[in-house]
Structure 1
Amino acid sequence: MQRNNDKTIIVRFPPSPTGLLHIGGARTALFNYLFAKHLGGKIVLRYEDTDKERSKPDYVKNIEECLVWLGIKFDGEPVYQSKRTEIYKKYLKDLVVAGQVYESKEEGKEVEGKRSSVLRFKNPNIRITWNDLVRGEVTFDTTDLGDFVVAKSFDEPLYHLAVVVDDFEMGITHVLRGEDHISNTPRQILIQRAINAPQPLYGHIPLILAPDRSKLSKRHGAVAVTEYRDRGYLPEALINYLALLGWNPGTDKEMYTPEELIADFSLDRVQKGGAIFNEEKLRWINKQHMKRDEGLSLWIVETLMASPRFAQSDKINAEKYVKRIATEVVQERLEIRSDLGKLIEGGEVDYFFLEPKLEPAKIAWKQDADLAHVRLRLQEISRIIGAMNGAFSKDDLSATLMPYAEKEGKGNVLWPLRYSLTGKDKSPDPFTVASIIGKEEVLLRLSCAILAL
């Protein structure tokens, strides 16, 4: 592996394939990616898979799929620590010869009747200080660490040794990772000095916290990236939101494309305190990105037209009609794509394709007991609409009916009209619904409501 001799900025994302890629890992990958690309550097993918029992190919596949979905691109082929055992062995032997690593017989631990042994790093017991790119100056007394284990054997290197060797061999210039790794840094600096490796610059980014400021976990909802993908979030929306978890652009801007994030990202705007994960905010950002998606309305149309729920409707094959429903009603109500299935199954758009089923008592505004008055108002509404000629847009309907609604009371006119057209307690405004279903259908439904009273 070639070392970095030209001082190109090189960062790494080193997941352990012992589980699904989670939100915290994705955010770490993103910050590394944005930092490197902003400065014209490189980012490499390195699988820290020395834990042979827990590392699984399925998790490698999941991590790769998620990173591709998010649009985080790496330079060069992935590196697997499990394939670099001989390299670690060489460094271990050199450290043993130099007296900086020694074999330690472990008390109370026996294998096949013999006391087991490990390889320990001989701690010089010094104070180490580094200038953290996020947290400023950090000092750590390594005496508290003791002589720490760096390998179970020459063939089984552990995390700290493998990380330091790989960072050296790969020419890593900056290590950006979660603040939970701060305690690992002094150990790794000691090993770097022992093998005469340059010390990369460290930056420890804040953890992602749940709304109660505890560590984000499964009990707070989805954690794995694939869960967000499968629920219909857009990758660019998740990237946008994750970038704002712990980083502030210094302006009020919230909506970013990946290209804009690369242009604006800098470590000096990364905060020290924990970042609170708020799914409502994520949903809002996703909704804004969905509005930019030129293919969204077509997808909504295709989904509605393919729904078995409306298979018997003579309106479902009228693409122009369905497109109006998609663009004027449905699109605004979606925050994530899976919301559409819930809208359909919940009957929230039935009234565009099927005759509404009315409950007479609900036609009246606030359960008005005088149904005779309700019937008279519906008859007048029907007369006013029947007299309309030409355009039948939302604005035309509003301009025509609002004078009567203001005279009789808006609730007394608009509620019976809306319920008569939809059969729902909650629905879009009656002018929007009427303009889509058309004058003939509006008059037919008003007649049905009048007969039901």
Structure 2
Amino acid sequence: MTAPQTRPVRTRFAPSPTGFLHLGGARTALFSWAYARHFNGCFVLRIEDTDVARSTPEAVQAILDAMQWLELQADEGPFYQMQRMGRYREVIGQMLDQGTAYHCWSTPAEVEAMRTRARALGTKPRYDGTWRPEPGKTLPPIPAGVQPVVRFRSPLEGVTAWDDLVKGPIRFDNAELDDLVIARADGTPTYNFCVVVDDWDMEITHVIRGDDHVNNTPRQINILRALGAELPIYGHVPMILGPDGEKLSKRHGAVSVMEYERMGYLPEAMVNYLARLGWSHGDDELFTREQFVAWFDPRNLSRSPAQWDPRKLNWVNAHTLRTLRPEDLARQVAPRIERLGGTCGQVDLPAIMALLCDRAETLEDLAQAALLFCEIEPPVDSALRSEVLDAQALERLEAFREQASALPEWTSAALDALIKACLKQWGIKMPQLAIPLRVAITGRRQTPAIGAVLALLGRDTVLQRLSAQRDQNGRR
């Protein structure tokens, strides 16, 4: 696999806090984290918050919460770019002194006019180098009242190339790259410059990020070379597409990582599923976090976009649910039950989880299903009760109640045996007793195995609800 060169491996995840952490960003963080862990390296978290107009403390917290939920612990950071402004200005000053950067007094309107002229000539729209110092060149007079930007003096000839961890060899003609702005007129540094200084100062050895950054990479490489810095190894991961093959977006459903936490997905399952979006280890679909780290090899990252499949995520999550102990499930599901209005104090929640987990795909599914046992009163559906609980059904329920009240043990096995005995005694099929029992006791036509449900609800609750049906029928 691609091994570290001469330096200890140091990777980074550097999101912008202009919104929640989306799934593509979470996958990038996961791959960067796994690469560092595989080589016993360092994983750095950096918050690129220089977009003051759009960055918010809430978005920063959302990123930190998502990283914590996914258990992608950073070894260093979080570092914040806004706290490093002095360092960026220091490096810009050095570049101006060394001639690798220069002041440019062209206004935005003038630069746009340059681009318009280039388009008319059929060439690439770009800044034309008006203020770029060259030997023997006379620069225009400095205009009054105009604050200059600072531009990087990009090489005019040759190519900028690298061997991408994911995509293989990539090259750009330097003639296609204009002198980008590295500091705005108000003095604030720009994205591509801040990234370079951060990667340099933090000694980042491997940059794994989305392939929407490919066009930024030659610019960043050239700035690093101008600074005399050692280059990191780059790997650009293709985007995640929605089920319809289009770019993943809000219209495909929840795209915030923490929205999936709210919906009841497990972090272990999300890590497992995200890892398989663009990476593979043979035919393995299900694996632990530890196996993923041990197996992670960027040569097995796909060059093609991955496709988000909610059904596959549900399958992975359902499998992960069933690997947890009932006690662990109960601890995670209890707060969800209470948010739904249920109460967990008088029930054997681990036993309920053991009964329900084979039918559930998410923690929220489990919470919803557990209300069967955790609601103080079963839901009332008058139409369903009228349909199912006719006179004959109520007569059988009363007979069942009398026999059930005499059971020496209130267990699933004892209740199953009683139900079978009643079916034989009355010459009826299971639905003719089980459905009325379900509706009378739980308010639902469908539940898990009725004997297990009655056992978990408890003798007092079952007998009380059957008596209530009897009394209600007597008042009709």
TM-score range, shorter chain: 0.7 to 0.9
Contact residue 330 and residue 350 of structure 2 kept, 8 A: no
In the other structure, the counterpart of 1:367 is none
- Deviation per CA, 1:286-307: give whole Å up to 9, x if none: 4444441533325656876898
Does residue 327 (structure 1) correspond to residue 353 (structure 2)? The answer is: yes
Contact residue 48 and residue 80 of structure 1 kept, 8 A: yes
In the other structure, the counterpart of 2:328 is 295
In the alignment, structure 2 segments of 5+ residues that lack a partner are: 111-142
Does residue 363 (structure 1) correspond to residue 388 (structure 2)? The answer is: yes
In the other structure, the counterpart of 1:200 is 232
Could you say if the C-alpha distance between residues 190 and 240 of structure 1 is closer, same or farther in structure 2, counting changes exceeding 3 Å?
Answer: same
What secondary structure is seen at the aligned counterpart in 2 of 1:273? Answer: coil
Could you say if the C-alpha distance between residues 388 and 267 of structure 1 is closer, same or farther in structure 2, counting changes exceeding 3 Å?
Answer: farther
The alignment-based identity, stated in percent, is: 35
- Deviation per CA, 1:247-266: give whole Å up to 9, x if none: 2222334142x333322222
Match of 1:128 among 145, 157, 160: 160
In the other structure, the counterpart of 2:62 is 62
User: What is the Cα deviation at residue 130 of structure 1?
Assistant: 1.6
Distance 1:353 1:166 in 2: 59
Contact residue 5 and residue 171 of structure 1 kept, 8 A: no
Distance 1:165 1:308 in 2: 52
User: What is the Cα deviation at residue 25 of structure 1?
Assistant: 1.9
What secondary structure is seen at the aligned counterpart in 2 of 1:229? Answer: helix
Distance 2:350 2:188 in 1: 64
Does residue 117 (structure 1) correspond to residue 148 (structure 2)? The answer is: yes
- Deviation per CA, 1:207-262: give whole Å up to 9, x if none: 12222222222333333333333444433333333222222222334142x33332
User: What is the Cα deviation at residue 31 of structure 1?
Assistant: 1.1
User: What amino acid is the match of 2:328?
Assistant: G
In the other structure, the counterpart of 2:269 is 237
In the other structure, the counterpart of 2:450 is 430
What secondary structure is seen at the aligned counterpart in 2 of 1:66? Answer: helix
Distance 2:364 2:394 in 1: 40
In the other structure, the counterpart of 1:10 is 10
Could you say if the C-alpha distance between residues 372 and 29 of structure 1 is closer, same or farther in structure 2, counting changes exceeding 3 Å?
Answer: closer
Distance 1:377 1:232 in 2: 40
For these two proteins, the number of residue pairs brought into alignment is 433
Could you say if the C-alpha distance between residues 88 and 449 of structure 1 is closer, same or farther in structure 2, counting changes exceeding 3 Å?
Answer: closer
In the other structure, the counterpart of 1:28 is 28
Could you say if the C-alpha distance between residues 377 and 260 of structure 1 is closer, same or farther in structure 2, counting changes exceeding 3 Å?
Answer: same
User: What is the Cα deviation at residue 274 of structure 1?
Assistant: 1.8
Contact residue 105 and residue 148 of structure 2 kept, 8 A: yes
User: What is the Cα deviation at residue 425 of structure 1?
Assistant: 2.3
Distance 1:131 1:5 in 2: 14
User: What amino acid is the match of 1:362?
Assistant: E
User: What is the Cα deviation at residue 183 of structure 1?
Assistant: 1.1
Distance 2:18 2:337 in 1: 40
Does residue 262 (structure 1) correspond to residue 282 (structure 2)? The answer is: no
Distance 1:102 1:306 in 2: 60
Match of 1:209 among 207, 231, 241: 241
What secondary structure is seen at the aligned counterpart in 2 of 1:24? Answer: helix
User: What amino acid is the match of 2:281?
Assistant: P
Could you say if the C-alpha distance between residues 403 and 273 of structure 1 is closer, same or farther in structure 2, counting changes exceeding 3 Å?
Answer: farther
Could you say if the C-alpha distance between residues 381 and 15 of structure 1 is closer, same or farther in structure 2, counting changes exceeding 3 Å?
Answer: same
Match of 1:248 among 253, 268, 280: 280
State the TM-score, normalizing by the size of structure 2: 0.75
Structure 1 residues 38-437: aligned runs within 5 Å = 38-107=38-107, 109=109, 114-115=145-146, 117-120=148-151, 121-153=153-185, 155-256=187-288, 258-291=289-322, 292=324, 294-298=327-331, 300=333, 319=346, 321-323=347-349, 326-332=352-358, 334-339=360-365, 342-343=368-369, 348-349=372-373, 359=384, 361-363=386-388, 393-395=411-413, 397-398=415-416, 401=419, 408-437=428-457
In the alignment, structure 1 segments of 5+ residues that lack a partner are: 311-315, 365-370
- Deviation per CA, 1:371-391: give whole Å up to 9, x if none: 6876787688679x6599655
Could you say if the C-alpha distance between residues 424 and 62 of structure 1 is closer, same or farther in structure 2, counting changes exceeding 3 Å?
Answer: closer
Distance 2:338 2:255 in 1: 33
User: What is the Cα deviation at residue 138 of structure 1?
Assistant: 1.8
In the other structure, the counterpart of 1:368 is none
User: What amino acid is the match of 1:432?
Assistant: A
Distance 1:202 1:303 in 2: 42
Contact residue 17 and residue 56 of structure 2 kept, 8 A: yes
Contact residue 332 and residue 363 of structure 2 kept, 8 A: no
State the TM-score, normalizing by the size of structure 1: 0.78
User: What is the Cα deviation at residue 9 of structure 1?
Assistant: 0.8
Contact residue 329 and residue 353 of structure 2 kept, 8 A: no
Contact residue 301 and residue 326 of structure 1 kept, 8 A: no
Comparing 415-424 and 187-196, the one that deviates more: 415-424
Contact residue 421 and residue 433 of structure 1 kept, 8 A: no
Contact residue 413 and residue 451 of structure 2 kept, 8 A: yes
User: What is the Cα deviation at residue 14 of structure 1?
Assistant: 1.5
Distance 1:52 1:438 in 2: 59
What secondary structure is seen at the aligned counterpart in 2 of 1:157? Answer: coil
User: What is the Cα deviation at residue 392 of structure 1?
Assistant: 5.3
User: What amino acid is the match of 1:54?
Assistant: R
Distance 2:260 2:448 in 1: 28
Could you say if the C-alpha distance between residues 395 and 88 of structure 1 is closer, same or farther in structure 2, counting changes exceeding 3 Å?
Answer: same
Distance 2:242 2:259 in 1: 17
What secondary structure is seen at the aligned counterpart in 1 of 2:106? Answer: strand
User: What amino acid is the match of 2:224?
Assistant: Q
Distance 1:425 1:178 in 2: 49
Contact residue 12 and residue 172 of structure 1 kept, 8 A: yes
User: What is the Cα deviation at residue 113 of structure 1?
Assistant: 6.9
User: What is the Cα deviation at residue 167 of structure 1?
Assistant: 1.8
Distance 1:52 1:450 in 2: 68
Could you say if the C-alpha distance between residues 435 and 75 of structure 1 is closer, same or farther in structure 2, counting changes exceeding 3 Å?
Answer: closer
Contact residue 192 and residue 220 of structure 2 kept, 8 A: yes
Distance 2:150 2:204 in 1: 25
- The two structures, once aligned, show a CA RMSD in angstroms of 4.0
User: What amino acid is the match of 1:297?
Assistant: A
Could you say if the C-alpha distance between residues 130 and 403 of structure 1 is closer, same or farther in structure 2, counting changes exceeding 3 Å?
Answer: farther
User: What is the Cα deviation at residue 403 of structure 1?
Assistant: 8.4
What secondary structure is seen at the aligned counterpart in 1 of 2:102? Answer: strand
User: What is the Cα deviation at residue 272 of structure 1?
Assistant: 1.9
